[in-house]
Chains A and B, each alone.
Chain A
Amino acid sequence: MAHVESGRPLLAVTDLKKHYPIRGSLLKRSRGSVRAVDGVSFAVKAGERFGLVGESGCGKTTLGRMIAGAHSATGGRITFEAQDGAPIEVTQLRGAALRRYLAQTQMVFQDPYSSLNPRRTVMQIVEEPMICLTDWDAERRKARVLRLLDDVGLDHRHAHRYPHAFSGGQRQRIGIARALAVGPRLLVCDEAVSALDVSIRGQIINLLRDLSAKLDLAIIFVSHDLGVVRHLCQRIAVMYAGRLVEIAASARLFEAPRHPYTEALLSAIPSVDPDATLRPIILDGDVADPGERPAGCSFHPRCRYAQDICRRKDPPLRAVGTEAHLVACHFAEDLHLRGNRMR
Chain B
Amino acid sequence: MATPSLRADASTLVEVTDLHVEFPTREGVVHAVRGVSFAIREGETLGIVGESGSGKSVSSQAMLRILPRPGRISRGSIRWHQRLPDGAVRATEITELGDRSSQMNALRRREMSLIMQEPMSALSPVHTIGNQIVERLRLGGSMTRAEARLKAIDLMRSVGIPNPEKRIDAYTFELSGGMRQRAMIAMAIGNAPRLLIADEPTTAVDVTIQAQVIRLLQSLQDSLRMSILIITHDLGVVATLAHRIAVMYRGEIVELGPVRDILKDPRHPYTQGLLRSVASLETSDEDSVATIPGVVPHPFEVVPGCPFHPRCSAFMPGVCDRVAPERTRLAPDREVRCHIYQSRA
Contact = CB atoms under 8 A, between A and B. Distances in A.
Contact of A264 (B182, B208, B285): B208
A224 interface: yes
Interface in A252-295: 264-265, 268-276, 280, 282-283, 286-289, 291-292
Contacts of A250: 285
B207 A226 contact: yes
Interface string A119-158: 0000000000000000000000000000000000101001
Interface in B294-321: 295-296, 298-300
Interface in A188-228: 191, 194-203, 205-206, 209, 224, 226-228
A343 B236 CA distance: 13
A165 B207 contact: no
Given A57-B179, A224-B206, A289 B162 contact: yes
Contact of A198 (B3, B212, B277): B277
A197 B233 contact: yes
Contacts of B286: 1
A199 B263 contact: no
A198 B177 contact: no
A201 B292 CA distance: 11
Contacts of B51: 167, 197, 199-200
A52 B134 CA distance: 35
Nearest to B270: A199
Interface stretch (A11-19, A97-105, A107-115): A107-115
B264 interface: yes
Chain A: interface size category: 35 or more
Interface of B: 1-3, 25, 27, 30, 49-53, 117-118, 120-121, 160-163, 166, 169, 174-179, 182, 200, 203-212, 214, 233-240, 259-260, 263-264, 273-275, 277-286, 288-292, 295-296, 298-300
7 pairs of A and B residues whose beta carbons are closest in the complex = A56-B178, A270-B236, A202-B289, A167-B53, A168-B52, A289-B162, A268-B207
Interface of A: 1, 20, 22, 25, 53-57, 61, 110-111, 113-114, 153, 155, 158, 161-162, 164-170, 191, 194-203, 205-206, 209, 224, 226-228, 230-231, 250-251, 264-265, 268-276, 280, 282-283, 286-289, 291-292, 342-343
29 contacts: A1-B285, A20-B174, A25-B169, A54-B206, A113-B118, A114-B121, A165-B25, A191-B203, A196-B233, A198-B278, A200-B291, A202-B277, A202-B291, A205-B288, A206-B288, A209-B288, A227-B282, A231-B284, A265-B206, A268-B208, A268-B210, A269-B236, A270-B240, A271-B282, A272-B236, A274-B259, A274-B264, A282-B211, A287-B160
